[in-house]
Structure 1
Amino acid sequence: MLMEEQATVGSRIKKIREQLDLKQADFAQQLSEDPKKISRIEKEVQFPDSNFLIQLGERLDVSLDWILRGVGKMFLSDSDSSSANFFPSEVDSGDFAFVPVYDVNASAGHGAFNDFGSEQAIQHMAFLNSWIHGNLSSSAERMVVIRAVGDSMLPTISNGDSLLLDVSPHFAGDGLYCVQLHETLFAKRVQRKSGHGYQLISDNPNYEPLEVNEEDEDAFRLIGRILWVGKQV
């Protein structure tokens, strides 16, 4: 079967909206979503989460097979009744990993209190398993998504960006991490200091590094390594 000429998920979702002759605001209202989210998805800045895909199928009769792979008909009503299925077996069999999204903020500024361990997932984001295996040295079972707040990591991380974390509790060398210091989560560059302790470095030069010394170690915890940043526009 020929693949749909719209080569990306975002471009196919845009085609659905245009086929329905809807503006982004009207399309968002149909799905009970934020118009800014529609814009980010169409521009390939954000991958649609599982709830978004479910709403497309249930409210607009769209085929998930067509959205994700460009295969078959756009609308289920255009397909043979015997094969029309919003969740086709090819997708259900494991093409995607659905990573939990937590309503937790990692400060890329001066910090805000969060108790990460007490949070419940509010939705899931879908990532291609082939993309995970080809680009990330991690397993989907160890991943979560949280949100960044603040400006101390500009231009690498902006306020509102999504952060994909590997929550394995170990230091894997200098790099980008989400860490907890006292009652605050931070997204920072973490460098191990000679001897004991760490230095938490901001990419924004307006912020001074934070020092984690031996006496702070009881209040310091590595939450996870930042694997990917989903940018806002």
Structure 2
Amino acid sequence: MSTLGERIDWAMRQKLKTRKQLAEELDVSVMAIGDLINDKTKKPRNLLEISMVLGVNPVWLQSGIGEPFEGSTDISAYTATEDDEDNITLDVLDIEASAGHGAVNGDMVQVVKQLKFVPDQFYKYYPGITPANIRIINVKGDSMFPTFNNGDLLFVDISIQYFDGDGIYIFTFDDTLFVKRVQKIGRDYCIISDNDDVYKPWYIKPEEASEMFIHGKVRVHQSQKLNFVG
């Protein structure tokens, strides 16, 4: 499968999808899908969306590197091929938000990649999301299973750097970075792992609250499909 068109055609056959079905899910014409399969499209703009619909690794889809279904949620190596200034651009940050016991000295500053989305496709897949407020990171570990799996993408709203009600937050505490569910119980913050058979809840007391810095609140996570976080 040396060409993009061959990889798309192969992935469609694995998912038993016709050109018409794929076109409808992507909101494009059947002719546009045919052009992709026949390698007539010079600068395809919706490879990320195609990878999500077909459930394949977007890096493999774009370049042929790696395995089709291995690491299909890790798109930090994906590079958009369209330079249209009208596209929506999201930053992928150099960070490993730990869903286990925490990542030491985590940082949400360095941008390592940028993903570009066609606006119509972005708002179709991410309704209600303000692009300017969103940064993308990968999650590591199993403490938030089954809500998150290791390698899932987290779409983090960095405009929320305070406790905004119960939800899943990216935060630093005691120089350690976490992705955890946070609840307020009385004056304490209760830090909860969804994999509670292994990871037990713990508390941040009022006198420790100044050591807790919230980087953002998780709005969406992506594995083989999009999942909105409540």
TM range, normalised to the smaller chain?
Answer: 0.5 to 0.7
1 CA distance for matches of 2:61 and 2:220?
A: 29
Instruction: Tell me the TM-score normalized by structure 2.
Output: 0.63
2 CA distance for matches of 1:219 and 1:16?
A: 54
Counterpart of 1:176 in structure 2 is 168
Displacement after TM superposition at 1:19 (Å): 4.5
CA 1:215–1:30: 2 relative to 1, 3 Å: closer
Query: SS at 2:142's partner residue?
Result: coil
1 CA distance for matches of 2:220 and 2:167?
A: 12
Aligned ranges 1:1-80 → 2 under 5 Å: 5=20, 6-7=22-23, 8=25, 19=38, 28=60, 31=63, 33-36=65-68, 40=72, 52-54=79-81
1 CA distance for matches of 2:71 and 2:176?
A: 31
CA 1:212–1:39: 2 relative to 1, 3 Å: closer
1:192 aligns with 2:192: no
1:162 aligns with 2:153: yes
1 CA distance for matches of 2:71 and 2:106?
A: 31
1 CA distance for matches of 2:60 and 2:71?
A: 10
Given that 2:106 and 2:172 are in contact with CA atoms closer than 8 Å, whether structure 1 keeps it comes out as: no
* Count of aligned residue pairs for this structure pair: 182
CA 1:122–1:135: 2 relative to 1, 3 Å: closer
Given that 2:99 and 2:179 are in contact with CA atoms closer than 8 Å, whether structure 1 keeps it comes out as: yes
Given that 1:98 and 1:124 are in contact with CA atoms closer than 8 Å, whether structure 2 keeps it comes out as: yes
What is the alpha-carbon root mean square deviation over aligned residues? 3.9
Counterpart of 2:201 in structure 1 is 209
User: Percent identity at matched positions?
Assistant: 27
Deviations 1:144-163 (A, max 9, x none): 01111110000001111111
Counterpart of 2:52 in structure 1 is none
Given that 2:98 and 2:178 are in contact with CA atoms closer than 8 Å, whether structure 1 keeps it comes out as: yes
2 CA distance for matches of 1:150 and 1:114?
A: 16
CA 1:204–1:166: 2 relative to 1, 3 Å: same
2 CA distance for matches of 1:144 and 1:39?
A: 20
2 CA distance for matches of 1:229 and 1:208?
A: 23
Aligned ranges 1:115-130 → 2 under 5 Å: 115-117=106-108, 119-127=109-117, 129=119
Displacement after TM superposition at 1:128 (Å): 5.3
What amino acid does structure 2 have at the position aligned with 1:35? E
Of the two, which has the highest radius of gyration?
1
What amino acid does structure 2 have at the position aligned with 1:103? D
Displacement after TM superposition at 1:139 (Å): 1.9
1 CA distance for matches of 2:61 and 2:104?
A: 33
Structure 1 gaps, min length 5: 55-85
Counterpart of 1:105 in structure 2 is 96
CA 1:36–1:179: 2 relative to 1, 3 Å: farther
Counterpart of 2:137 in structure 1 is 146
Displacement after TM superposition at 1:34 (Å): 3.2
